């Protein structure tokens, strides 16, 4: 995970660091109708948005931007997404990703091993096959045939340390234990004693200069998950959904509960009915809470959405979910509103 203190130190601009320090206040964020906009989940979204902006800022297509943006995070060994991330409980890093464009074209890979950029494989699935989703060894075989390098199967030092700690107890709890530090069981995301959430996913949605929407989502999934487990992130309609008429949404948090409510699709349909992005995200979160009842206190789920007017919004179950926005002259990290504080 990107250490927060290190992240602030790394931030090139004093003003940005200041924004992050106080976290821009939650709430309605003005639309960016005059130009492109990109938003992405968690603190690592700042760097990812910069990658996307290389394309959006030059008038490029949102689809290219959301691929390039999350590739920054996938390539980062300091973070929590990609080959440097936490393994499953058998010690293997397995990756899930998806991508969707303004024409409802979509592609997805899941349970993919030893490939650095799953989002790009997902894009090839979308563009070069008649399918939406490839998984496991078939996805890997396709990636190799497409020229992707098969990387060494080796945990990063931080993932090895986290895995060694987890092995001491090997406790399997497919829920988030918000009291622990993430070393007792598979949990996504985990809340540290400081109150901050660890996380292992980046979801990004963007609108380009033509007003077209696209999105991407990529993850190593829950740390120390059962081998073969998939969450919401590679599932179109759960971890990501784009409808060029209504809006786009991505999700992060406990994937099982995002899938249960077809989370990102639900948010987009609520925006189609006229709800603002924030109100739509809140309604989807409330639906999860109605289903989970008191167990909702133990899980984190957050939605992040963008509508056709370029308005952005988010909502989470718990406090601590942040998202990054980039538009012309705007670069900030916003603390999302939540049900529990
Ligand atoms: C999953 N939704 O695999 C992902 C995990 C996540 O921050 O978002 N972590 O369930």
What is the C-alpha separation between 136 and 120, in angstroms, rounded?
A: 15
Q: 3-state DSSP call for residue 25?
A: coil
Selected catalytic residue, list 41, 73, 94, 201 = 201
Pocket test for ligand 1, best of 97, 239, 260, 317 (most atoms within 8 A of CB): 239
What is the C-alpha separation between 179 and 31, in angstroms, rounded?
A: 37
Q: Where are the domains of the chain?
A: 13-340
Pocket test for ligand 1, best of 2, 251, 252 (most atoms within 8 A of CB): 252
Which residue has the least CA distance to atom 10 on ligand 1? 255
Sign, Cα dihedral of 337, 284, 330, 97: positive
- Give me ligand 1 centre to Cα 235, in Å: 12
218 given a catalytic annotation:
no
What is the C-alpha separation between 305 and 186, in angstroms, rounded?
A: 27
Which residue has the least CA distance to atom 7 on ligand 1? 199
CA dist 323 to 13, 174, 204, 288, 335, Å? 18, 25, 10, 20, 7
Q: Write the DSSP assignment of 153-218 as a string of letters.
A: ----HHHHHHHHHHHHH----SS--TTS-S-SS--SS-B-TTSPBP--EEEEEEE-TTS-EEEEEE
Q: Which residues line ligand 1 (CB under 6 A)?
A: 188-189, 199-201, 219, 221-222, 231-233, 252-255
Which residue has the least CA distance to atom 3 on ligand 1? 221
- Give me ligand 1 centre to Cα 225, in Å: 11
C-beta of residue 87 within 8 angstroms of C-beta of residue 93: yes
What is the C-alpha separation between 292 and 38, in angstroms, rounded?
A: 31
C-beta of residue 133 within 8 angstroms of C-beta of residue 111: no
The closest-lying atom of ligand 1 relative to the alpha carbon of residue 256 is 10
- Give me ligand 1 centre to Cα 107, in Å: 18
- Give me ligand 1 centre to Cα 255, in Å: 5
Question: CA 81 from chain center: how many Å?
Answer: 9
Residue position matching structure tokens 């300091």: 78
- Give me ligand 1 centre to Cα 224, in Å: 12
What is the C-alpha separation between 151 and 130, in angstroms, rounded?
A: 27
- Close Cβ partners of 235 (under 8 Å, ≥ 6 residues apart): 98, 108, 259
Pocket test for ligand 1, best of 199, 222, 223 (most atoms within 8 A of CB): 222
In tens digits, the chain (341 residues) has pLDDT values of 333 333 333 333 333 433 433 344 444 456 666 789 999 999 999 999 999 999 999 999 999 999 999 999 999 876 678 898 889 999 999 999 999 999 999 999 999 999 999 999 999 999 999 999 999 999 999 999 999 999 998 888 888 988 998 899 887 654 443 333 333 334 455 554 444 445 679 999 999 999 999 999 999 998 899 999 999 999 999 999 999 999 999 999 999 999 999 999 999 999 999 999 999 999 999 999 999 999 999 899 999 999 999 999 999 999 999 999 999 999 999 999 999 98
pLDDT at 178: 37
Question: Apex CA 139: angle with CA 136 and CA 145, to 5°?
Answer: 140
pLDDT at 173: 59
β-sheet bridge partners, residue 80: none
- Give me ligand 1 centre to Cα 282, in Å: 18
For the stretch 116-130, pLDDT in tens is 999 999 999 999 999
- Close Cβ partners of 249 (under 8 Å, ≥ 6 residues apart): 205, 215, 240, 241, 263, 264, 265, 267, 268, 271, 277, 280, 281, 303, 304, 305, 306
* Long-range CB pairs of 180-183, under 8 A, 24+ apart, other chains included: 182/223
C-beta of residue 97 within 8 angstroms of C-beta of residue 121: yes
Evaluate whether the domain defined by 13-340 bears CATH number 3.40.50.1100: no
Q: Is the pTM of this model over 0.75?
A: yes
pLDDT at 172: 66
């Amino acid at each position: 995970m990107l250490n927060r203190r290190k992240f602030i130190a790394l931030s090139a601009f004093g003003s940005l660091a200041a924004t992050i320090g106080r976290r821009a206040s939650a709430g309605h964020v003005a639309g960016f109708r005059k130009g492109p906009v990109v938003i992405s989940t968690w603190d690592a979204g700042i760097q990812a948005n910069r990658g996307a902006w290389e394309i959006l800022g030059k008038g490029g297509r949102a689809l290219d931007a959301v691929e390039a943006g999350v590739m920054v995070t996938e390539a980062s060994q300091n973070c929590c997404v990609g080959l440097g991330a936490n393994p499953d409980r058998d010690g293997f890093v397995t990756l899930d990703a998806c991508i969707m464009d303004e024409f409802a074209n979509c592609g997805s890979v899941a349970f993919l091993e030893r490939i650095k950029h799953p989002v790009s494989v997902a894009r090839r699935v979308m563009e070069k096959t008649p399918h939406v989703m490839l998984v496991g060894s078939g996805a890997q075989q396709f990636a190799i045939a497409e020229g992707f390098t098969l990387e060494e199967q080796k945990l990063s030092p931080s993932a090895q340390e986290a895995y060694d700690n987890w092995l001491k107890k090997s406790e399997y709890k497919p829920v988030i234990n918000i009291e622990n530090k993430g070393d007792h069981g598979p949990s996504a995301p985990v809340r540290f004693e400081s109150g901050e959430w660890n996380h292992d996913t980046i979801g990004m949605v963007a609108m380009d200069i033509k007003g077209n929407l696209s999105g991407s989502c990529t993850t190593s999934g829950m740390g120390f998950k059962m081998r073969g487990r998939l969450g919401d992130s590679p599932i179109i309609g759960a971890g990501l959904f784009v409808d060029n008429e209504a809006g786009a949404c991505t999700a992060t948090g406990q994937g099982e509960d995002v899938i249960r409510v077809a989370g990102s699709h639900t948010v987009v349909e609520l925006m189609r009915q006229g709800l603002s992005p924030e109100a739509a995200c809140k309604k989807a979160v409330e639906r999860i809470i109605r289903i989970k009842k008191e167990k909702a206190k133990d899980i984190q789920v957050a939605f992040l959405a963008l509508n056709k007017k370029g308005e952005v919004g988010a909502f989470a179950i718990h406090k601590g979910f942040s998202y990054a926005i980039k538009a012309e002259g705007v670069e900030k990290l916003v603390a999302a509103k939540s049900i529990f504080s």
